[in-house]
Amino acid sequence: MSSLVIYNAKIYVEKGHFEEALLAAEGVIRSVGSNEEILSQAPADARRYDAAGRTVVPGFNDSHQHMQSVGEILSNIQLLGADSIGEVKRRVREFIEKNHPAPGTVLHGMGWNQDYFKDEHRLLLKEDLDEMAPDYPLILERACGHILTANSPALALAGITGSTVPAEGGAIDLDEQGEPTGVIRENACSQVLRIIPPATEETLDAQLRLAMAHAAECGVTSVQSMDMRPGKWRETWAAYQRVQAKDPTVRVYQQVNFMEPVEFRQFLSEGFHTGMGDPFLKIGPLKMFADGSLGARTALMRSPYHDDPSTQGMATLTQETLDEMVEIATEHDCSCVVHAIGDGAIHMVLSSYEKILKDGKNPLRHGIVHCQITDRPMLERFRANDILALVQPIFLHYDMTVVEDRVGKELASTSYAFETLRRLGVHESFGTDSPVEDMNAINNLYCAVTRKNLSGEPAEGFHPEECMDIYDAVDAYTYESAYVSFEEGVKGRLKPGYYADMVVLSQDIFTIPADEIIQTKVEATIVDGRFVYER
C-alpha cells in the first residue's frame, strides 16, 4: 500500500488545533504538521494531494443507520420527498413502466410521509395502492419504517384479513366494516414484509455496494448499521464478509437486532459477540426497539398525545422482556443500544439499564438511539449512569413541524436537547437513521448547528438555545461515534496512529456563517489512505 500526503490543507486535529499537512502509510496516519515538515518526510512514491487550502476533517461516522435498507431503497421505488399522494402514484407507475417487473412480483418502496402531502393530508390506504399497481402486490413503507401500507394483492398474499391477529406490539388498522385499510403498524409490519422474497446473494451484494458508494459520496467512512435481523442474520453477515473481502470503502459496525431471548441466545452460542471481526467489519451491540415513531404517533409517551388523547403510542417490548434481554447481553459482555423516541420508551430503557449498572459506570457503553422526547430530569439520568445518546439532528428538519402538536409546547421545549446533553457530559454521537433520512452528513451538521430545516426555517432556529457549536458537532459525528464502538483510539481524529479516514470539504465549515454550512460539498472521501470518492 502506497503512502499518501495531503498538503496545503486546513486539517482539523481537535478543537483549536489545525495543521497544514498529513502523511499516511499502510492506512494509518504517521504524522501531521506543516507543509515543509510533512513533504520532507514523504516517500518518493507517495501520492501527493494538494488540498488548495480546503478543510479536511475526520471521516464522518454514522452512529445509527440501515446500510442494507439504503441499498434496497436505492434499487427500488424511492418515495423520499414525495409531496403528494399524486406524486407517490406517479413514481410507482414510472417504476413499473421503466422496469417491467414480471407478473406477480412483489413491489416495495419506502420514504413517503403524509405530513408532506399537499393534496390530501392523510396516510396512504390500500385503495390508493390498488390504483397505482392493481396487478402487483405493493408495499410502501412510511419514511420512519414504523408504518406501511399494502394494497389488496399484498394483503391477500400475506393472508391479512379483518380477523387476523396482529403481532404483539403491532396493529392492523380496520375500517368501519372491519376490513383492513392497508395500514399496518409496528411489529405487525413483519406479517406483510415476509411476502417479499429473500434477496439472492448477487442482489444482496449489489445493494450493499450501492449503499457504500452513496456513503462515500456523503463523506461517511464508518457506519454503525442495523442490518442483521431475526431469521436472516447469518445471510446478512455472510454478505458483508463477501463485500468487505473485495474492495472495502466503508467500515461497518453491526448493530444486531433481536427482540426475544431464544434467537439472541442462539446468536451468542455461535460465538458472535461485541467486538468480533476486523477493522472493516465488526459485530457491535444488541439493537432493540422499545417504541415506534413520533410522526406515526407510535412513539411511547408517558402521557397521551397532545393532538390525539386516545393514544400514548405503542410499546414494542414489555419491560420484563427488555430487562431480560439487557441482562442476557450484559452477562455476555455484549453492548446494548435501544431505539426509544417517546419519553415513555426512554424511561423504560433507562430503568432497564439502571438495574444492571453500578456506581454510575457503564463499561459496555449501553446506549439509547434517538432520545427525542425528554425533560431535564430524564437527561440527568443519562449522565448519572453514563448512558450513551445516539442522536439524529437531521430529524429536526421534519419533527420541528409536528413535535409541539404531538407533545405540547412545554415538553417540546426540552426535547431534541443536543446541546444540553453535551453540556451534561453525556457521550452524544450523530447518525442519520438512513434511509429514514438521507445519509448526507452536511445536512446533519447544519441541523445541529442552526436548528433550522433544510429550507432555512424558522429564521431564529427551533429552540436556538440548543444549537451546537460546529466544533462540538463535528466531534459528535467523528470522535464520539468512535467512542460508541470502542474505537476512539483509532477513529475520529486526524492524529498519528489513527486510521487514515478523512473527508475534504469545499468550504471551511469552522469559519463560515452557520447558515452557509448547508452549501458545503464533499470534495473527496479517503478510507484507509485510499480515495474512495472524488467529486
Nine-digit cell string for 261? 431471548
pLDDT band of 144, cuts 50, 70, 90: confident
Q: Sheet with 147-150: list strands edge to edge.
A: 77-78, 107-112, 138-142, 147-150, 180-186, 170-174
Q: Sheet with 28-33: list strands edge to edge.
A: 28-33, 21-25, 4-7, 47-50
Confidence check: pLDDT of 117 > 90: yes
Buried b (16+ CB within 10 A) or exposed e, 264-284: beebbeeebebeebeebbbbb
Nine-digit cell string for 509? 465549515
Yes or no: say if 295 and 398 are a contact pair by the CB < 8 Å rule: yes
Strands 47-50 and 4-7: parallel
Q: Write the pLDDT tens digit of every residue in 244-266.
A: 999 999 999 999 999 999 999 99
Query: Which pLDDT score, from 0 to 100, does residue 295 have?
Result: 87
Q: Write the pLDDT tens digit of every residue in 324-350.
A: 999 999 999 999 999 999 999 999 999
Task: State the alpha helices, DSSP H only, in 146-232.
Answer: 152-158, 190-193, 201-217
Distance CA 366, CA 384 (A): 13
Residue 35: how many CB atoms within 10 A of its CB? 15
Yes or no: say if 172 and 150 are a contact pair by the CB < 8 Å rule: no
Q: Write the pLDDT tens digit of every residue in 481-513.
A: 999 999 999 999 999 999 999 999 999 999 999
Yes or no: say if 69 and 342 are a contact pair by the CB < 8 Å rule: no
Q: Residues with Cβ < 8 Å from 363, sequence gap 6 or more?
A: none
Q: What does the domain layout of the chain look like in residue ranges?
A: 4-59+498-534, 78-193
Distance CA 376, CA 343 (A): 11
User: In the CATH hierarchy, which top-level class contains the domain 78-193?
Assistant: alpha beta
For residues 289-296, average pLDDT: 93
Give SS3 for 457.
Answer: coil
Q: In angstroms, what CA-CA distances link 144 with 132, 186, 218, 342, 513? A: 22, 10, 21, 14, 31
Confidence check: pLDDT of 438 > 70: yes
Q: State whether the Cα torsion 28-30-33-39 is positive or negative.
A: negative
pLDDT band of 51, cuts 50, 70, 90: very high
For residues 225-249, average pLDDT: 96
Confidence check: pLDDT of 357 > 80: yes
% of the chain exceeding 70 in pLDDT: 100
What does the mean pLDDT of the chain come to?
A: 96
Query: Which pLDDT score, from 0 to 100, does residue 405 have?
Result: 96
Distance CA 417, CA 465 (A): 9
Statement: the pTM of the whole predicted model exceeds 0.85 = yes
Q: What is the DSSP letter of 323?
A: H
Confidence check: pLDDT of 55 > 90: yes
Q: Which contacts qualify for 267-273: CB closer than 8 Å, 24 or more apart?
A: 267/233, 268/328, 268/332, 268/334, 273/332, 273/333, 273/334
For residues 221-227, average pLDDT: 98
Query: Which pLDDT score, from 0 to 100, does residue 62 have?
Result: 98
Which DSSP helix (H) or strand (E) runs through 222?
strand 220-225
HSE-CB at 126 with a 13 A cutoff on CA atoms is 22
User: In the CATH hierarchy, which top-level class contains the domain 4-59+498-534?
Assistant: mainly beta
Query: Which pLDDT score, from 0 to 100, does residue 190 have?
Result: 93
Taking the alpha carbons at both ends of the chain, their separation in whole angstroms is 23
Confidence check: pLDDT of 73 > 90: no
Q: Residues with Cβ < 8 Å from 222, sequence gap 6 or more?
A: 59, 60, 61, 62, 250, 251, 252, 253, 481, 482, 485, 491, 501
Q: Is there a shared CATH topology between the 4-59+498-534 domain and the 78-193 domain? A: no
Nearest to 137 by CA among 155, 156, 153: 153
Confidence check: pLDDT of 467 > 90: yes
| Rg of the chain on CA atoms, in Å | 23
For residues 127-150, average pLDDT: 94
Q: What CA dihedral angle connects 24, 27, 29 and 35, to 10 degrees?
A: 20
Distance CA 135, CA 153 (A): 8
% of the chain exceeding 90 in pLDDT: 95
Confidence check: pLDDT of 369 > 80: yes
Query: Which pLDDT score, from 0 to 100, does residue 1 have?
Result: 59
Helices 319-331 and 261-269, interaxial angle, to 10°? 10
Q: Write the pLDDT tens digit of every residue in 418-427.
A: 999 999 999 9
Q: How far is CA 309 from the centre of its chain?
A: 30
* Cross-strand pairs, 6: 22, 49
